Structure 1
């Protein structure tokens, strides 16, 4: 069997000879070997191209997230390494073309936070009850599942806890908190635009 170098040299020779020489028509054994080598090389390249095309079409590689977002379970997240109040956190997310993370990606977010950022702490999430006390809804209008609240929460301590915090690594993991308190926050970038309605 010819080495890869020999095949490359043979292919170069064929290309240099150009259309004046047609392989396989001379009846020469060397020409026939060269034609077979070129054919094998073409088939191998076609197979490699097809494999690469299929790999690029799979979701295995996850979504392409714009900077500074990172991919986790087909979602794009940004978790701050600095603390802001809830309203400032939301403005920051909106300024990045995203919004505070909500219900549709809670477990992907938890995995991302635990693996990539920190083992314990609190993160602002996309829910607030400032307009109607005790009516906890996500920013998209959906009601929060009561099973996600830590025992005794929400409690609206001192009558001013209106913003949602996710505790990491607790399960259940939601707390109500004073909106002006400084905490880390999680933004979710929805490919195709912000996730707010």
Structure 2
């Protein structure tokens, strides 16, 4: 079947002339509105052009019809990292939708679901291999950290970073 479709395309035939099986027409399992793309079965937008504080970038995501990304699934998280690397996006800091602001040490997603702590999400660092987050009351917003291979880290909410939005 695939060889037949390829031959038709080489001959200049349009797919709209033929009734093709749905699996050949749709990419992925979800339909995403621009600028969002399907990543790991979800609609995400990795914004490499804009930077701002955690709250500014959350509002930016909302203006696009989404919110900060919730990475509560290891397979989705891995798919996102592959998406970033595979598209040549810069290895930078990216805000995600987790915070412990107002309840130090209790990390929750923007929908108030608890964030899984430790491996495989949070970075390790230093000679003692300290597990993040370790920023105390000064660092209350989560980001994917460029210095830790895009593992989670806690950052100062007022610092500027890129953002990953989810619809």
TM-score (norm 2): 0.72
Residue deviations 1:62-110, cap 9 Å, x none?
Answer: 2322111122233221111221100011111112111111124322222
What 5-or-longer segments of structure 2 have no aligned partner?
1-17, 125-129
Which residue of 1 is the match for residue 7 of structure 2? none
Q: 1:141 to 1:74 in 2, by over 3 A?
A: same
Which residue of 1 is the match for residue 122 of structure 2? 149
Residue deviations 1:100-131, cap 9 Å, x none?
Answer: 11124322222221212425221100001111
Residue deviations 1:172-191, cap 9 Å, x none?
Answer: 711100001000100011xx
The answer to whether structure 1 residue 66 and structure 2 residue 29 are counterparts is: no
Work out which of the two has the higher radius of gyration on C-alpha atoms and give 1 or 2.
Answer: 1
The answer to whether structure 1 residue 108 and structure 2 residue 79 are counterparts is: yes
What 5-or-longer segments of structure 1 have no aligned partner?
1-47, 190-197
Q: Is the 8 A contact 2:144 2:150 kept in 1?
A: no
CA RMSD of aligned residues (A): 2.3
2:91 to 88, 113, 120: 120
Which residue of 1 is the match for residue 102 of structure 2? 131
Q: CA deviation at 1:140?
A: 2.3
Higher helix share: 1
TM-score (norm 1): 0.62
Which residue of 2 is the match for residue 39 of structure 1? none
Higher RCO (Cα < 8 Å, 6 or more apart): 2
Q: How many residues matched?
A: 137
2:156 to 160, 175, 178: 178
Which residue of 1 is the match for residue 46 of structure 2? 79
Instruction: Summarize the alignment of residues 23-42 of structure 1 with structure 2, pairs less than 5 Å apart.
Output: none
Runs (4+) off by over 4 Å: 57-60, 168-172
Q: 1:183 to 1:61 in 2, by over 3 A?
A: same
